Chain A
Amino acid sequence: MTHAYLGDEAFSDLARGYIAAHPSDKRNARWFSRYLPEFARTTAPFSEHREVAELAALEKALADAFDGPDTAPVSLEELAAIPPEDWVNLVFTPQPAATRLRFKTNAADIWTALNGEDSPPEPAQLPEPQTILVWRQDLMSRFRPLGPEEAMMWAEAAKGVRFGVLCEMVATSPARTKRSSARRPISRPGSKRARSPVSALTVPSPIW
């Protein structure tokens, strides 16, 4: 998509500059582009168009999710089997293939338009940075933007903060007062979305 967005000539400039700055240091060419987002973010003229680096970062994250480590996501049945009194102590572990990106531009919308072979929107700065969640589900890479509350919940959950504490945090979150319609971080058992990017959850002893 970075190529489609830039066109042949500008992408060739980006690629040649990148090859000169980062000669391939891995046998497997699969990993060759891993520094490209950072290169685009810090190298003129691409650094003046931040959406380029963000597009590259999204592509890299999607590729990394596609062939990242295999882990079984938590199933709805497993979630449903957890006694209600144990939820307060649940700790969620994101899938190793799940990543979060922080975007300052509408790069996600540009990607979506290009992927649908539509004309991309004009690049634009977002009023506030947006968190994009990238993960793998049913062998395919996916991404979606997270609302401010959800992004906060993900950040804290990934640090190992227990579900009970997360609920207290979201209840008192300034984001909640600003955006009461924000999506829930992890949907209730019964919702399909619940099984997506969470690979494991543990309940610290002495619960079990």
Chain B
Amino acid sequence: MSDHKPPYLGFGLGLRPEHYDEILSGEPNVDWFEVISENYMIPGGKPLRILDEIRERYPIVMHGVSLSIASTAPLDMDYLTELKTLADRVDPKWISDHLCWTGVHGVNLHDLLPIPYTKEALDHVVDRVARVQDFLGRRLTLENVSSYVTFAESEMSEWDFVSEVATRADCWLLFDVNNVYVSSYNHGFSTRDFLHGVPRDRIVQFHLAGHSHEGDHIVDTHDHPVCDEVWDFYRETVAHFGPVSTMIERDDNIPPLAEVIAELDIARRIAGEVAEAKHVVAAE
């Protein structure tokens, strides 16, 4: 496996079928696209044809939602084979999925479920990440999820667990800015503790998304624009980590492409302001 950290790609979007025509007929100001791996793990037809066309023009990153890396179920070799087949076709800059489980005992729940942050779970996940990386012949990138419950058995913080997985399994991290915000609200921890608790040299991507505020808790719905609080935390995140490939996820209530790009431009502006401020400080 290459020791090189994946390249900085700039500002991207999640590729959604609603935007196919606009992307292919114009030259939207998007630096790269992230695709949901499972949506293209299919035999053939239009989705793969479109993906082939888009990858000719833009760097692509693959993002899975059902690797179930933390499950106690055996690794699904059929799934991994399909994932590798797609990766061979797409040649993504990296492949990511979530630090969570999505099913057990032969049943898939199609949700990103939290794990107890114990030493036993850590050993389990580290072993599985290593096996998946060996099979794929490349490093995985793992994302912190939004969660709504915690385990009394947990022996460490989420950020310590995430950091240990990255270091021991030698994988990359996708820092989901919105997920940290959502989980910090739901569980009452400090976003800053999380931010300062994960290793900078492992972070290859940021996610931004909107959520649904339900009063006493927040649900990670990806159906709203990014909120001000998450933009503030993004500013703090960029200031801490420096430039990292950033993208916006929108999975429901999907607006026209121009609207999502306008949101992406906010991320560009914030990252630019942070870089400018650092430059000024350095010059002084």
CA distance A26 to B82 in the complex (A): 12
> C-beta contact mask, A55-80 vs B, less than 8 Å → 1, else 0?
00000000001111110000000000
Assess whether B76 is interfacial by the CB under 8 Å rule: yes
Contact of A27 among B43, B44, B45, B108 (CB under 8 A): B108
Q: How many residues of B contact A (CB 8 A)?
A: 23
Assess whether B24 is interfacial by the CB under 8 Å rule: no
CA distance A49 to B147 in the complex (A): 42
Contact of A25 among B45, B46, B107 (CB under 8 A): B107
Residues of B within 8 A of A139 (CB): 45-46, 49
| B55 CB, min distance to chain A CBs, angstroms | 16
6 contacts between A and B (CB under 8 A): A28-B79, A30-B41, A69-B43, A70-B44, A139-B46, A139-B49
Name the residue in A27, A96, A136 with the highest tally of chain B Cβ atoms < 10 Å from its Cβ: A27
Assess whether A125 is interfacial by the CB under 8 Å rule: no
Interface residues of B: mostly helix, strand, loop or mixed?
Answer: mixed
A28 pairs with B43, CB closer than 8 A: no
Residues of B within 8 A of A23 (CB): 106-108
A68 pairs with B44, CB closer than 8 A: yes
Q: How many residues of A contact B (CB 8 A)?
A: 20
Interface residues of A: mostly helix, strand, loop or mixed?
Answer: loop
Residues of A within 8 A of B251 (CB): none
CA distance A60 to B107 in the complex (A): 21
Which A residues have a C-beta under 8 Å from some C-beta of B? 23-30, 32, 65-70, 96-97, 136, 139-140
A67 pairs with B108, CB closer than 8 A: no
| A16 CB, min distance to chain B CBs, angstroms | 15
Assess whether B223 is interfacial by the CB under 8 Å rule: no
| B251 CB, min distance to chain A CBs, angstroms | 13
Assess whether B266 is interfacial by the CB under 8 Å rule: no
Which B residues have a C-beta under 8 Å from some C-beta of A? 38-39, 41-49, 66, 68, 76, 79, 82, 102-103, 106-110
| B46 CB, min distance to chain A CBs, angstroms | 4
A67 pairs with B107, CB closer than 8 A: no
| A139 CB, min distance to chain B CBs, angstroms | 4
| A67-B43 CB under 8 A given contacts A24-B108, A30-B38 | yes
Residues of A within 8 A of B79 (CB): 27-28
A67 pairs with B109, CB closer than 8 A: no
Residue of A nearest to B68 (CB): A27
B45 pairs with A68, CB closer than 8 A: yes
The list of the 6 closest CB pairs from A to B, nearest first, reads A70-B44, A67-B45, A67-B42, A24-B108, A27-B66, A139-B46
Residue of A nearest to B66 (CB): A27
